[in-house]
């Protein structure tokens, strides 16, 4: 059966079956991972490709997009898009979309759970029980969430949802971002160091990319202090992992809860060896419900573009056009 649109679409990496099924029905989809020679396939289809469906793990550089002279639309799976050169795309009239909002609540839930797990040492307590140690004596008393102040580094959609949850737990919430938000009635701090010095739970929610690489460095960790907890559900690149390992080892901070890492899925052995680090395999939005909603938004953005309608969720760097 012929596709609905006379349009060539590149899918650099596999996506969820229901996404691929819908795109196969709508477009001529080129799947390099199935080709005997990926580069040869790309050279063959490059003159005709007008759209890209970018699944998780797809890296779209200016060089790659520049090899596709008819490229008009990139629909990306995920709220973060630091693996796509959206600035270059926008400058060349290519619209890039992501999947915000549909994962906000799920990621915020994960951030709250990770905060509780880290402060109360709940994974360590479960391992203690499974090892049979409870038969000998009770698990040691832990720190508490009570009396703490939380800081949100990056108060966007997800950051605000996390702030709402932490406030419901009785924590005062402060924030830092590129700009003070006039409609936000929370204490603002001009730098990450200032924010860390004012709080003892620091939740990292800022986008990844070159502009935020190692934003949380040794100085921020020192300001967070020996009772401080770092939670990162943003991007691994935002935190200097070497400085974090050192801070956890020497007591500069109390603990860390991490859902993201600099070189996923490879996690440094130095982090794996630390008992005061709670580590999750990037599961912030990883529920069937949310991932299906994200996948459907990838499809819906491409269909809107193909039909000449404005795309639903363009990123800030690119034009919102059909």
| Residues classed as catalytic | 235, 264, 282
Contact 55, 13 (CB under 8 A): yes
User: Exposure string (b/e) for 290-306, b if CB count within 10 Å is 16 or more?
Assistant: bbebbbbbbbbbbbbbb
SS3 192: helix
Contact 112, 165 (CB under 8 A): yes
Using CA atoms, how far residue 319 sits from 86, 90, 188, in Å, is 10, 6, 31
Contact 209, 178 (CB under 8 A): no
Q: Are strands 73-76 and 49-54 parallel, antiparallel or unpaired?
A: parallel
- How deeply is 279 buried, as exposed, middle or buried, from its count of CB atoms within 10 A (0-12, 13-18, 19+)? middle
Using CA atoms, how far residue 54 sits from 1, 58, 111, in Å, is 24, 6, 26
User: Exposure string (b/e) for 76-111, b if CB count within 10 Å is 16 or more?
Assistant: bbbbbbbbbbbebbbeeebbbbbbbebbbebbbbbb
Using CA atoms, how far residue 320 sits from 95, 98, 312, in Å, is 7, 12, 8
Euclidean distance between CA atoms 252 and 309, whole angstroms? 53
Characterise 269 by phi-psi region: left (phi > 0), alpha (psi -120 to 50), beta (else).
alpha
């Amino acid at each position: 059966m012929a596709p609905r649109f006379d349009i060539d679409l590149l899918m650099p990496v596999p996506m969820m079956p229901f996404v691929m099924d819908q795109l196969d029905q709508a477009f001529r989809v080129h799947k390099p991972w199935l080709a005997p020679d990926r580069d040869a396939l790309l050279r063959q289809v490059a003159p005709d490709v007008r759209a890209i469906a970018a699944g998780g793990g797809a890296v779209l550089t200016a060089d790659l997009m520049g090899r596709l002279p008819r490229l008009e639309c990139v629909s990306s799976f995920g709220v973060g898009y630091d693996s796509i050169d959206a600035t270059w795309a926008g400058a060349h009239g290519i619209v890039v979309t992501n999947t915000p909002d549909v994962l906000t609540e799920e990621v915020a839930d994960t951030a709250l759970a990770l905060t509780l797990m880290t402060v109360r040492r709940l994974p360590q307590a479960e391992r203690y029980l499974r090892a049979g140690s409870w038969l000998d004596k009770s698990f040691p008393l832990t720190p508490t969430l009570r009396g703490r102040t939380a800081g949100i580094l990056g108060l966007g959609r997800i950051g605000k949802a996390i702030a709402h949850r932490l406030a419901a737990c009785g924590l005062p919430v402060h924030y830092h971002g590129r700009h003070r938000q006039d409609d936000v009635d929370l204490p603002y701090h001009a730098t990450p160091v200032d924010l860390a010095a004012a709080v003892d739970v620091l939740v990292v929610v800022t986008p990844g990319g070159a502009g935020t690489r190692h934003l949380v460095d040794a100085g921020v960790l020192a300001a967070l202090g020996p009772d401080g907890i770092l939670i990162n559900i943003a991007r691994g690149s935002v935190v200097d992992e070497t400085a974090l390992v050192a801070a956890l080892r020497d007591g500069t901070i109390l603990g860390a809860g991490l859902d993201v890492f600099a070189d996923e899925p490879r996690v440094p052995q130095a982090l794996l060896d630390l008992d005061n680090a709670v580590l999750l395999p990037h599961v912030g939005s990883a529920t069937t419900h949310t991932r299906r909603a994200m996948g459907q938004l990838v499809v819906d953005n491409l269909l809107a573009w193909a039909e000449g309608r404005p795309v639903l969720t363009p990123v800030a760097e690119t034009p919102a056009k059909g």
